[in-house]
Amino acid sequence: LHWYQGRAREAEVIFLEALKDLENTSGLDHPNTLTVVSNLAQVLREQGRYQESEAI
């Protein structure tokens, strides 16, 4: 929701927290983890942080 409201930084923080939790509970290859990675990458791209986006 934050992302759609133009609050990319807040969305980034939430995605990072979710990613950490999912990596620990579900693993890196779980579909939910991959969805969060994709969403985080898109938020970073929208902020013009292309190198960080590609790194994840």
pLDDT, tens only, 29-50 = 999 999 999 999 999 998 999 9
User: Does residue 2 form part of some domain?
Assistant: no
**CA–CA separation, 37 and 6 (whole Å):** 19
* Average pLDDT value for residue range 4-29: 90
Question: Do residues 22 and 30 touch, judged by C-beta distance below 8 A?
Answer: yes
Q: Which residues contact 47 (CB under 8 A, 6 or more apart)?
A: 8, 9, 12
Structural domain boundaries, residue 13: 8-55
Domain count, the chain: 1
Residue corresponding to tokens 């985080």: 40
pLDDT at 2 over 60: no
What pLDDT is recorded for position 7?
Answer: 80
User: Does residue 44 form part of some domain?
Assistant: yes
- Please provide residue 12's backbone torsions phi and psi, each rounded to the nearest 5 degrees: -60, -45
State the pTM of this model. Answer: 0.84
